[in-house]
């Protein structure tokens, strides 16, 4: 049987660690499972320093799961399409976007985080989608993560408002903290929904152009 190194995870095509093994490491970043293997992984062994963050569907959609220990049967996720192997001391920062402007205009929010895996560095959030999507990683050492926020009018494709915010992991509270700073987008509010989930809410519609 194939066993992972401390910074790896090994997926198997059958339950109970049987079938063909496929090894992935922390260095592989966000993995979109290729079509020939999509929904075929049935169990996983996780290295001592690693954890797996997994999504049912491409685009970080569907069911979500985190695995820090060996899992003899991962069928409860309903098929695996996207995952990343990361250190146990990191956590995804998840977000969604709400439009509370009381207008008929449609907006989208682009979250752009520098210095992260390309699969996370630019994330588009559709308005009023109830699901949370990963936009950045929070680190146990408390380093500050800067995320650019760009609201786009989906009819005119004009970006307004734009700005940024900061995230950091607070080890005392075991939660991510959001610092709006001086450049947080005008007319937008933010609400923390859980230890690492946030809602960005557009309250005031920017002028039409």
**Residue 209 pLDDT > 80, yes or no?**
no
**Residue 1 pLDDT > 90, yes or no?**
no
Query: pTM of the entire structure?
Result: 0.77
- Res 116: pLDDT: 61
Query: In this structure, what DSSP letter does residue 87 have?
Result: E
Among the ranges given (27-31, 93-97, 193-197), the one the predictor scored with the smallest mean pLDDT: 27-31
Structure-token pair, residue 59: 């685009």
pLDDT level of residue 195 (50, 70, 90 thresholds) = very high
- Res 163: pLDDT: 97
**Residue 33 pLDDT > 90, yes or no?**
yes
Beta-carbon contacts of residue 173 (< 8 Å; ≥ 6 apart): none
Domains of the chain: 8-87 (2.60.20.10), 90-202 (2.60.40.1720)
Structure-token pair, residue 146: 């800067």
CA distance 188 to 43: 42
- Res 22: pLDDT: 97
Phi, psi of 51, rounded to the nearest 5 degrees: -145, 160
- Res 141: pLDDT: 83
Q: Tens of pLDDT along 120-171?
A: 668 899 999 998 988 988 888 888 999 999 999 999 999 999 999 999 999 8
Place of tokens 């339950």: 15
pLDDT level of residue 119 (50, 70, 90 thresholds) = low
**Residue 118 pLDDT > 60, yes or no?**
no
Q: Strands 8-14, 43-46: parallel, antiparallel or unpaired by DSSP?
A: antiparallel
- Res 82: pLDDT: 94
Instruction: Select the more confidently predicted residue: 165 or 29.
Output: 165
């Amino acid at each position: 049987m194939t066993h992972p190194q401390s910074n790896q995870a090994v997926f198997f095509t059958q339950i109970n660690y049987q079938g063909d093994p496929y090894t992935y490491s922390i260095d592989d970043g966000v993995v979109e499972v290729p079509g020939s293997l999509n929904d075929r992984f049935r169990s996983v062994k996780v290295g001592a320093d690693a954890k797996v963050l997994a999504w049912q569907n491409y685009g970080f959609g569907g069911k979500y799961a985190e695995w820090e220990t060996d899992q003899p049967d991962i069928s409860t996720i309903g098929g695996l399409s996207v995952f990343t192997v990361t250190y146990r001391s990191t956590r995804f920062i998840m977000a969604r976007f709400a439009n509370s402007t009381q207008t008929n205009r449609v907006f989208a929010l682009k979250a752009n985080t520098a210095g992260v895996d390309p699969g996370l560095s630019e994330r588009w959030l559709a308005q009023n989608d109830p699901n949370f999507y990963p936009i950045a990683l929070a680190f146990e050492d408390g380093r500050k993560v800067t995320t650019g926020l760009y609201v786009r009018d989906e009819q005119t494709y004009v970006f307004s408002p734009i700005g940024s915010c900061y995230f950091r992991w607070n080890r005392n509270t075991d939660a991510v903290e959001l610092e709006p700073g001086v450049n947080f987008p005008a007319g937008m509010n933010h609400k923390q929904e859980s230890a690492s989930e946030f809602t960005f809410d557009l309250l005031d519609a920017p002028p039409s152009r």
